[in-house]
Chain A
Amino acid sequence: QKEVEQNSGPLSVPEGAIASLNCTYSDRGSQSFFWYRQYSGKSPELIMFIYSNGDKEDGRFTAQLNKASQYVSLLIRDSQPSDSATYLCAVNIVGDSGGSNYKLTFGKGTLLTVNP
């Protein structure tokens, strides 16, 4: 079973701190990685995607990818109470039929709470 694992949390950080969210995946063939934010009662919203090893920065968000360790993380700098949400890691995993048949597989999500 090809899986995506996240610590369910809750992760609690004070306002202004750095929040670090982690994700591991089992399929070495995965090539694209996504972070979604989901507020309670709402649908997932794409916030970052990363395809290459290393860091990718977008405003207060930084995605980090290490394919050798099968590990992807999301850092949120200067955390705000409005960042309080569940963060979903999603990995495009090659389907059972192989080839270019990908299936976006989600982790269970990490609940982040930013305290004022």
Chain B
Amino acid sequence: DAGVTQSPTHLIKTRGQHVTLRCSPISGHKSVSWYQQVLGQGPQFIFQYYEKEERGRGNFPDRFSARQFPNYSSELNVNALLLGDSALYLCASSWAAGGDSPLHFGNGTRLTVT
């Protein structure tokens, strides 16, 4: 079975630009979450979506937004990129939104902002 897939795998952008990252969850999973991992640190929670509704948001500015589509895939959008947005962006899916439903992560999109 296919795991969580993310695209693109690598991306280079310039400060001030906009970026869209994409995620396809494991088949049957209805919840998608996004995490940011800066080099040397653990992943930090950005968003969770379940059944196309936002269920949670981490401590990130409004430049970050996301959405989930009817097929449960998801996009993460970041506007007005800053150098500090350079990170590994991870998508994770789970079949439900509760504590007994493990998150399964993709291998991320490596974003470099120059």
Asked whether A and B interact, the reply is no
